Amino acid sequence: MGGADWTAVLRELFRVLVFPGFAFLLLLALAGEWLDRKAYARYQHRMGPPWFQPAADLIKLLAKEDLVPRLASRAVFTFLPVLALAAVACAYVYLPVAGGRAVYAFPGDLLVVAYLLTLPAILFFLAGWFSGSPYGAVGGVRAATQLLGYEVPLLLAVLAPAVVAGSWSISEVSRTLAGRPELLPLQVIGLVVALLALQGKLERVPFDIPEAETEVVAGTFTEYSGGRLALFRLAIGAELVVGLTLISNLYLGGHAAWGPVPGLVVYLFKLAVLVLILAAVRAAAARLRIEQMVTFCWRVLVPAALLQLFVVVALRGWWLL
C-alpha cells in the first residue's frame, strides 16, 4: 500500500474509533449519565454526584470479580454485553455529529439505525432469560413485553420527519429541516412521542419496570457483575446518546447548517437540553406497571404518532413542499 492508501486507512480508523466514533460516544455516554444523575438530584433538592462519578463507577465495576452463574452459559453470558454495546456504537456512525453528513451516511440509514437501536432490548431479554436466575428471567420477559409497547410509536415518530424531507437518510432529513425551520413547529407531537418512547426504550422512570428494584432486585442484570455489567451500563448510556442524537437530527433541525466546530457545539447543547428534559420526566413520574405502560403506548402514543404522520403527509402534498 502507498502512503496515500495508509493515510486514508488511518483517517477512517480515526473517524470510527476516536472521533466522531467509539471513543467520543463513550465520553458522551459518561457525560450524559453524569448530567442526567446531577439534574435528577437537583430536581429533588439533592446535591448529586461529582462530574467524575460515572467514570469512577465504571472503573470500580471493571475491578470487581466477574462471576458467571452455574446455570448460565459462559459464552452467551459474555457475548451479549459486547454485542449490545457494539450495536449502539454501530448506529452512531450513521448520525451527523459535527455538522454536515454522518461518517457513513447512505440512503436508508434511518432504517438501519432503527434496527440497531432495537437490538439492545432483545439482547437484554436474552441476558435475563439465559442468566439462570428467576429474577433475571422475569426482568427479561418484562423487557420483551415493554418492547412491544414503545417500539411501534417510536418507529412511527421517526417516519414523520422522513416523509417531510422525502428521504430515508438521516443526514438528508437533518439538512432539509435545517433549511426549512418553519416546518419544525409542525412536528411537536412527534417530538413528544419520540421522547416518551425513548424513555421506555431506555427503561427509565416511569418505564423502568424490567429493573424494578423493589420487585425483581435488578431484573435483567441481577446476575451480572464486574466487566460484563460495566459493558451493559455503557451500552445503556451510549443508547441514550444515540437516541437523543437521532431525535435532535430529526426534530430539532440538527446542525447541518453550521460548520464543523459550531455544529459540534450546537449538537452538544441540544443533547444536554434533551437530557435535562428526560431527567425532569424521570423526576416527576412514578413507576408504571407493565400493563399500564403497554396500554399507554398503544392507546396514547400510537394514535399521537399516527396523527403526526397524517398531518405531515397531508400538508406535504398540499402546500408545504
* Residue 319: band (very low, low, confident or very high) from pLDDT cuts 50, 70, 90: low
List phi, psi (to 5°) of 19. Answer: -140, 130
Quick one: cell of 48?
A: 448529586
Peptide bond into 206 cis (omega under 30): yes
Q: Give DSSP secondary structure letters for 231-257.
A: HHHHHHHHHHHHHHHHHHHHHS-TTTT
Q: Which residue has the higher pLDDT, 258 or 226?
A: 226
pLDDT in tens, 125-160: 999 888 888 888 888 888 999 998 999 999 999 988
Average pLDDT over residues 85-102: 89
Q: What's the whole-number mean pLDDT along residues 250-279?
A: 88
Domain ranges, residue 290: 3-320
Q: How many residues does the chain have?
A: 321
Task: Kindly state the percentage of the chain with pLDDT values over 90.
Answer: 52
pLDDT for residue 80 is more than 70? yes
Angle at 33 between CA 32 and CA 36, to 5 degrees: 85
Q: Is the pLDDT of residue 212 over 80?
A: no
- Site of grid cell 428521504: 167
CA-nearest of 84, 83, 106 to 93 is 106
Grid cell in block for residue 316? 406535504
**Residue with more model confidence, 232 or 133:** 232
Helices (H) and strands (E) in the chain, counts: 13, 0
Burial string for 98-133 (b: 16+ CB within 10 Å, else e) reads bbbbbbebeeebbebbbebbbbbbbbbbbbbbbbeb
* 166-189 mean pLDDT: 86
* pLDDT on residue 123: 94
**Residue 95, amino acid:** L
Distance, CA of 179 to CA of 109 (rounded, Å): 20
The one-letter code for the residue type at 42 is R
End-to-end CA distance of the chain: 48
Q: Hey, what's the cell of 50?
A: 461529582
Q: For residue 193, give the C-alpha cell.
A: 412521542
Letter string b/e over residues 32-66, b meaning 16 or more CB atoms within 10 A of that residue's CB: bbbbbbbbbeeeeeeebeeeeebeebbeebeeeee
pLDDT score, position 183: 78
Question: What is the reported pLDDT for 1?
Answer: 56
Q: Which of 174-178, 256-260, 268-272 has the lowest mean pLDDT?
A: 256-260
Contact 231, 221 (CB under 8 A): no
Separation between Cα atoms, residue 110 and residue 95, nearest integer Å: 9
What are the φ/ψ torsions at residue 73 (nearest 5 degrees)?
-85, 125
> What's the pLDDT at 25?
96
Confidence tier at 76 by pLDDT (50, 70, 90)? confident
Percent with pLDDT over 70 in the chain: 94
pLDDT tens-digit map of 34-73 = 999 999 999 999 999 999 999 999 999 999 888 888 888 8
Examine the pLDDT at 270 and tell me if it is beyond 70. yes
Average pLDDT, the chain: 88
Grid cell of 97 as nine digits: 455529529
Average pLDDT over residues 310-319: 77
Number of independent structural domains in the chain: 1
**pLDDT band at residue 3, thresholds of 50, 70 and 90?**
low
Torsion of CA 44, 50, 52, 58, to 10 degrees: -50
Q: In the structure, what pLDDT confidence band is assigned to residue 286 with cuts at 50, 70 and 90?
A: confident
The 10 Å Cβ neighbour count of residue 181 is: 10
C-beta of residue 93 within 8 angstroms of C-beta of residue 104 = yes
- The pLDDT assigned to 217 comes to 67
| 22's grid cell | 467509539
The label of the residue with cell 461529582 reads: 50
Helix (H) or strand (E) holding 14: helix 3-17
pLDDT of residue 165: 86
The span from the CA of 304 to the CA of 244, in Å, is: 20
